[in-house]
Structure 1
Amino acid sequence: MRLREFWELIDEVFGPGYGRALAREQVLAALGDRTPAEALDAGLQPRDVWHALCDALDVPDADRWGTSRGRKAPPPSR
C-alpha cells in the first residue's frame, strides 16, 4: 500500500473530515502510542498503520477497502 492509497482509504472509509481527525488524534498502542499520522512520519508502513487503525476501531474486513472491490492491502507485516 502506498501512502496515497492510505489517505484515499481514510477518506473513503471514515469520511474526509472524521478520517483526517482520526489520523491526527487517535493514539494507538499498536503503533507505539502514536497517532497514525505520527506513525507514518516515523516511517511505519502505511499498510501496517491502516491495519492498526482498522483493528482498533473494529472495522470489518469487508468495509476496510473503501469503494473499490479490487483493492486489497496485504496483511500487516510482522
Structure 2
Amino acid sequence: MRRSEFLRAVETEFQARAASLINDLVLSALGNRTAVEALADGAPPRDIWLALCVEMDVPENRRHGAGRQEPRRR
C-alpha cells in the first residue's frame, strides 16, 4: 500500500472524521503514535491502515484492497 492509497482508504472509510483520526488518534499498535507520526517515522502505510482499522473496528471485508483505484479500462 502506498501513502496515497492509505490516505484514499482513510478518506473513503472515515469521511469527515479522516483528518482528525490520522492527526489525533494515538494508536498503541504503532508505539503510541498517531498515523501522521508513524508515516513521518517511515512506518509502512499498510501497517498504519490495519492498526487504524483494528482501533476503529472496521470490518475485515473493508480492510483489504482499500484505497486502490480501479484499473484503467483498455
Give TM-score scaled by structure 1 length: 0.79
CA distance in 2, matches of 1:7, 1:53: 12
Alignment partner, residue 9 of structure 1: 9
> Could you tell me whether the CA contact under 8 Å between 1:13 and 1:66 is conserved in 2?
no
Gaps of 5+ in 1: 71-78
Q: For residue 8 of structure 2, what is the amino acid of its counterpart?
A: E
How many percent of aligned residue pairs carry the same amino acid? 42
Q: Structure 1's 67 and 40: CA in aligned 2 closer, same or farther, altered over 3 A?
A: closer
Equivalent residue of 2:39, what SS? helix
1:46-65 alignment runs, 5 A limit? 46-64=45-63, 65=66
Bigger RCO of structures 1 and 2 (CA < 8 A, at least 6 apart) = 2
Deviation at 1:66, TM superposition (A): 6.1
Give TM-score scaled by structure 2 length: 0.83
CA distance in 1, matches of 2:35, 2:10: 11
How many residue pairs end up in the alignment? 69
Gaps of 5+ in 2: none
Equivalent residue of 1:38, what SS? helix
